[in-house]
A and B are shown apart, each in its own frame.
Chain A
């Protein structure tokens, strides 16, 4: 953790970068209490300042998440072509609500504001990967593909 932080000068200007890196390094895709404390110490600022910033931005989570984070775009261009139905299908398929993690800890289902790939709406991101032109069948297929990839290593 220390190593990650020391790549940046000890200035709050790099706080967002540090939070990104620490979250990416955590297998459960979230900012652990230890990580938040480490940042506060490194920057010599109160822990509450770090938490305040971390809780403002949707890309950070203070709760453990699944191995993979699904972010389905729900902005108007995607909505126009059926994103709402896709959310129901995903929720049902994974048996979770929005913001929840599957029992096996594989997926967290989230919604996102415009992902900026409206040309292939409806779209979603799983971790850093983008998927577009989604349909009811394809959305399940994509999730299962990711699951299979994990199982076969």
Chain B
């Protein structure tokens, strides 16, 4: 095998492709050849490098220099100055917290390989430890129930939004001839794209997570349900599955054990509600994505009426390191009740929007200032919407509270999917809430009346208020409708409309009252 003295990582994701990453990549390859460096410097195509909104991003190793907004015209200079003469091109360098590979100072568990390896390469994944946890299970003959115990002890909680303990979910899964594992990659919560970047950046981590989950609950078949819009995720995941199958890491008798496991991708077709686990199951069965009445839960009656575990992408991506390093190791990060890290997408009025991973319990202030580079253009922080449309608004008073599933509950907010939309002093909460209510009206699946009618009524009142036709008592009426929806809707979609409404009124009520004369 040829050994290169240096590597240039180029982050390929949808955003980089928009910015012309392919052209930069081929220009770079040409320039390396032209300068006789083709054998010395290797170009590695990788996932997101953690500098969202900064065009084409290159990361040069072993120097640990990161370049942003690189265009074809810059390539020659990077090659001659930096790669040939060893002088980094200062004007292209990313300065600030992301210097020397994204957030190296901060602990990364889930994203540790994203932007470091070529997601198309099984060899590179293995070189950074992929499938070592599964190998450990087989080698040390760790029994399925012991794997469940490790995950239980680790305190890992579902990262899809609800925060249900993962080990407990696995232990509730009924035994059966056929059990299924489903990885929920139907990421639709507005402002969330963490799962996309895990799928694109480290697909083998996910395969291993599903494999371990399958081993723990006795499932031999797994599905990854990816939303239809995520073309690149589907392509990379398929490449990874094919490579793993070819190498005998998926299929029969994994690591020469008695354990068989295989994975198939299912492509969604545009329905937010399919992120709800029972809707997702219906969708895989080829039906309308109507949520089922629970109980019975999927752990008892799931896909094709068989016991089924549905876990989020980020949750499963946490499993291999937990098995490899142990529950104690995992508990050394995060908080007592929510160990580990959380992947956030930080967006809106911040200097550096993007994907970050922070320990559970990190305050919103730290996330905005240290990871997000502060509020954009030195404006004042007005508030934030945390958790997407089904999330809640928080105000400046919440800036220093530790953020985890429980800490936010105390603030009547939720961590949800981990989307943080930062709003500056100029943002209109009325407009934001209106957008959220349009979203709910559009995405209500129409199966149950409280949600179908409620989402329409809420949007109608909102329209009336914005048109200056609001009536006194309208705000209370909205809370009343949302409260009934919370009590009577069949699934979390209708149940969660209340959160953005009450939190908006709690912190920013005068803005709404000003419109009602």
Contact = CB atoms under 8 A, between A and B. Distances in A.
A113 B53 CA distance: 20
Given A79-B431, A113-B188, A116-B229, A56 B289 contact: yes
Contacts of A75: 190-191, 389, 435, 439
A116 B267 contact: no
Contacts of A57: 228, 268-271, 289
A119 interface: yes
Given A53-B288, A76-B439, A79-B432, A113 B190 contact: yes
A77 interface: yes
B194 to A, nearest CB: 9
Contacts of A16: 266-269, 283, 286
B52 interface: yes
Interface in B247-286: 266-272, 283-286
B323 interface: no
B447 to A, nearest CB: 10
A132 interface: yes
Contacts of A125: 229
A58 B286 CA distance: 15
B287 A53 contact: yes
A17 to B, nearest CB: 6
Interface in B162-201: 187-193, 196
B128 interface: no
Interface in B203-234: 227-231
A60 B268 CA distance: 11
A115 B283 contact: no
Interface residues of A, number: 39
Nearest to A12: B286
A116 B286 contact: no
Nearest to A50: B286
Interface string A128-141: 10111100000000
A23 to B, nearest CB: 9
A116 B230 contact: yes
Interface stretch (B106-114, B345-353, B394-402, B476-484): B345-353
A140 B14 CA distance: 21
B423 interface: yes
A120 interface: yes
B228 A79 contact: no
B438 interface: yes
Contact of A116 (B192, B353, B442): B192
A74 B432 CA distance: 11
A11 B229 CA distance: 23
Interface string A108-124: 00001111111111000
B88 interface: no
A114 B349 CA distance: 18
B95 interface: no
A125 B196 CA distance: 16
B15 to A, nearest CB: 5
A79 B355 CA distance: 20
Contact of B15 (A74, A114, A132): A132
Contact of B421 (A56, A76, A131): A76
Contacts of A91: none
Contacts of A14: 286
Contact of B269 (A60, A116, A118): A60
Interface string A73-102: 011110110000000000000000000000
A77 B354 CA distance: 12
A59 B268 CA distance: 9
B285 A58 contact: no
Contacts of B513: none
Given A58-B271, A59-B270, A119-B354, A77 B427 contact: no
B436 interface: yes
Nearest to B266: A16
Contacts of B345: 118-119
A20 interface: yes
Contact of A80 (B189, B268, B348): B348
B270 A79 contact: no
Contacts of A59: 228-229, 269-270
A116 B419 CA distance: 11
Given A17-B267, A118-B193, A128-B231, 13 more contacts: A20-B267, A59-B270, A74-B438, A75-B389, A79-B431, A80-B421, A113-B270, A114-B192, A116-B188, A116-B192, A118-B192, A119-B193, A121-B347
8 closest cross-chain pairs (CB), A and B: A15-B286, A12-B286, A119-B52, A57-B269, A75-B190, A58-B270, A59-B270, A56-B288
Interface of B: 14-15, 17-18, 52-53, 187-193, 196, 227-231, 266-272, 283-289, 345, 347-349, 353-355, 385, 388-389, 419, 421, 423, 427, 431-432, 435-436, 438-439, 442-443, 445
30 contacts: A16-B269, A16-B286, A19-B269, A20-B269, A53-B286, A57-B228, A57-B268, A58-B269, A58-B270, A59-B269, A60-B270, A75-B191, A76-B385, A76-B388, A76-B432, A77-B190, A77-B191, A77-B419, A80-B348, A80-B432, A113-B190, A114-B388, A118-B191, A118-B347, A119-B193, A119-B347, A120-B53, A130-B14, A131-B18, A132-B14
